[in-house]
Amino acid sequence: MSEYAQPQVLVSTKWVEEHKGDANVRIVEV
């Protein structure tokens, strides 16, 4: 299994729920 190139950019679904309205947050699926 390979490792993520940038693990610091991964967040939990709980974090997304808590920050989805933040103006500086962008959700990106790759």
What average pLDDT score do residues 8-29 get?
90
CA distance 18 to 3: 26
Residues whose CB is less than 8 angstroms from the CB of residue 19 and which lie 6 or more positions away in sequence, other chains included: 25
Residue of 2, 1, 5 whose CA lies nearest to 30: 5
What local confidence, expressed as pLDDT, does residue 18 receive? Answer: 96
| Number of domains forming the structure of the chain | 1
The model's confidence at residue 28, banded by pLDDT at 50, 70 and 90, is confident
3-state SS, one letter per residue, for 1-30: CCCCCCHHHCCCHHHHHHHCCCCCCCCCCC
What local confidence, expressed as pLDDT, does residue 14 receive? Answer: 95
Expressed as residue numbers, the domain containing 23 is 1-30
